Structure 1
Amino acid sequence: MTGVGVTRTLAVPDRYDLARTIRRLAVIQGDPTVHADPQEAWWATRTPDGPGSLCLRRSPGGLTATGYGPGGGWLLERADAVAGLRDDVSGFAPEHSVVRDLWRAYRGWRFPASGRVFHHLIPSILGQKVTGKEAHHGYVRMLRHFAEPVPGPAPARMRLTPDPAAVAATPYWAFHPWGIERKRADTIRRAAVVAGTLETSTDAAEATRRLVSLPGIGVWTAAEVVRAAFGDGDAVSVGDYHIKNTVSWALAGEARGTDERMLELLEPFRGHRGRVCVLLEIGGIGAPRFGPRMPIRSFARF
């Protein structure tokens, strides 16, 4: 039965921000496995027990969490982690004025920890060296191809992440109409073969070691994954096209930066370096732009 779920109640901190917290489960903006607004949020994924969805609703006592489908019980057990309630911010007391002001404004936001690695790995690989729109289009088309019903009364636009076995069995050329070239397709297919091993990672460090050992996966991709899968507030996306400039501009007034300079400026925030990067993003801070933007390509028409 997909419409009947089991429920638990979760207490939340003062000024808790449900929408911003759950949206961090989306590595790609507009991820159809995620739905979040201030009063209700949904997440659909594959668990060790099978497909499931989790609904988090605002209630007088905090949040009411409801799990649906074969994986609903598994999701309900870690609903507090998915809701970001295991994220420890007690030691985060930034002194830099920009970061301090942002934390005051958005202190209700938390890092969720989904506990699922392959779920976030697909969109992270799709986001390699392309624009956000390209990554989104490829991801949506891929989920549509592998479409299965989302358990429970989830919003109609939501999709379930693909079964790793089905992805591994798909030839690379089948990815081309989705706008995904062979390099990223092969990286996804290789990762799908070892998805079971990746899911046994006990923490962000172990997951990172396993991820970067795979051809086609580097530190940028690993950081994108472990932030969502383990709620790693220190993970920094080294190699990102924009973040190094954003950090340099916000923390030092330098319009352009390098990865080395970014890490130098973030060092005083060690333990929360990724949190600082996300706060800058949430606050809409960006370095001045010079020159043309990266063009949007269509590999599907090559």
Structure 2
Amino acid sequence: MTITASAPAALSAEWELHEPYALLPSVGPLQCGPHDPTVIFRDGAAWLAFRNDDGAATLRLSQRGGLRSSSVHATAWGPGASLALASVPQLAGLVDDWSGFDSPAFAAALPELARKGRYLQPGLRLPATGRMLDAVVRVILEQKVTGLEAKRAWRYLVTRFGDPAPAAPGAPRELRLPPTAAQWRRVPSWEWHRAGVDSKRSATALRAAGVASGLERLAGLDAAGVHAGLCSIPGIGVWTAAEVLQRTHGCPDSISVGDFHLAAFVGAALTGERTDDAGMLELLKPWAGQRQRVVRMLYASGFRKQAYGPRLSPEDHRRR
């Protein structure tokens, strides 16, 4: 990695890669829908806004070259620019190690669909932001609602209560920083209501914001420690903890038990029949330690389970 000052208010770094890597699919899970104001994909680049110990940062990531030999270029602006650049290898999944998954012995034991997914997405990596509060609030908003509802709520609250991202040439005008813990705590009850967030989820988000400093310390723990710490907060259970771990730690084994769709999807992909959470965990047991990677490859294969009955409809909590 080399770091240079590309302009008085910017720092740049570049990482040379000589193995398969795909930037946008790897950082894609960090975006909460196509209208997320904190993560925006535009013209082949990823723009991100966040805070670290030094302050706010705007980060632009782009990839040059081919799939198997390329470079990832990062430019950061704002008081947190230096730490933002230092976080790129983890944030973009550049240090995510798939060697065990890709070993001949392990690969041979994978289900056919997972092998197909890895063939189609050889450059996919798992990102790890290390930023706990941002991930926790986002996932709380996703509890027991449709994805459409959760994405709308996140967009509304960030746009309404987050700060503008540090100025950067060419940055999307709508790019914003997620609210700080103090800003989350100041969101009035009626604004949660306008965002379509029910009182249970808003109360959980406020509890998380109230222990934000403790949450951020979880970033340095292993998956078991993070899971235990998160589940000690009322309103946060195993599903929320797993979803957070996937984003903050790039956990290769984190499985979202309790997800509305996941168990049925895994069962249909591996056996042709739907199953429940217990059945999903039993099916994935041979790949313990790599279960999240297996699930990601099942999705990457293009397999989709058969749909039965009507889809879950969004609820309008604003009229309650």
TM-score by length of 2: 0.88
Residues 215-226 of structure 1 aligned to structure 2 (within 5 Å): 215-226=234-245
Distance 2:43 2:27 in 1: 10
- Displacement of 1:208 after TM fit? 1.6
Deviations 1:227-255 (A, max 9, x none): 1111111100000000101100111111x
Equivalent position of 2:194 in the other structure: 177
Identity %: 38
Equivalent position of 1:288 in the other structure: 306
- Determine whether 1:235 maps to 2:254: yes
Distance 1:156 1:240 in 2: 34
- Determine whether 1:115 maps to 2:133: no
Deviations 1:202-243 (A, max 9, x none): 133322211110000011111111111111111000000001
Structure 1 residues 276 and 38: alpha-carbon distance in aligned structure 2, compared to 1, 3 A threshold? farther
Q: What is the total number of aligned residue pairs between the two structures?
A: 300
Preserved contact between residue 50 and residue 56 of structure 2 (Cα < 8 Å): yes
Distance 2:248 2:262 in 1: 20
Aligned partner of 1:114: which letter? Answer: T
Distance 1:197 1:240 in 2: 26
Deviations 1:172-217 (A, max 9, x none): 3431111111100000000001111111121333222111100000
Distance 1:299 1:279 in 2: 35
- Displacement of 1:34 after TM fit? 1.2
Deviations 1:245-277 (A, max 9, x none): 1100111111x2100010111111211111122
Distance 2:277 2:35 in 1: 27
1:264 to 277, 282, 286: 282
Preserved contact between residue 49 and residue 70 of structure 1 (Cα < 8 Å): yes
- Displacement of 1:137 after TM fit? 1.0
Equivalent position of 2:264 in the other structure: 245
Residues 141-180 of structure 1 aligned to structure 2 (within 5 Å): 141-151=156-166, 152-153=168-169, 154-180=171-197
Distance 1:34 1:291 in 2: 34
Preserved contact between residue 118 and residue 300 of structure 2 (Cα < 8 Å): no
Distance 1:62 1:178 in 2: 40
Root-mean-square deviation over aligned CA pairs = 1.9
Preserved contact between residue 35 and residue 43 of structure 1 (Cα < 8 Å): yes
Equivalent position of 2:145 in the other structure: 130
- Displacement of 1:52 after TM fit? 1.0
Equivalent position of 1:200 in the other structure: 217
- Displacement of 1:27 after TM fit? 5.1
Equivalent position of 1:68 in the other structure: 77
- Displacement of 1:50 after TM fit? 1.4
Preserved contact between residue 12 and residue 76 of structure 2 (Cα < 8 Å): yes
Preserved contact between residue 118 and residue 301 of structure 2 (Cα < 8 Å): no
Preserved contact between residue 27 and residue 228 of structure 1 (Cα < 8 Å): no
Distance 2:137 2:160 in 1: 14
Equivalent position of 2:4 in the other structure: none
What SS does the aligned partner of 2:79 have? Answer: coil
Preserved contact between residue 138 and residue 154 of structure 2 (Cα < 8 Å): yes
Structure 1 residues 241 and 91: alpha-carbon distance in aligned structure 2, compared to 1, 3 A threshold? same
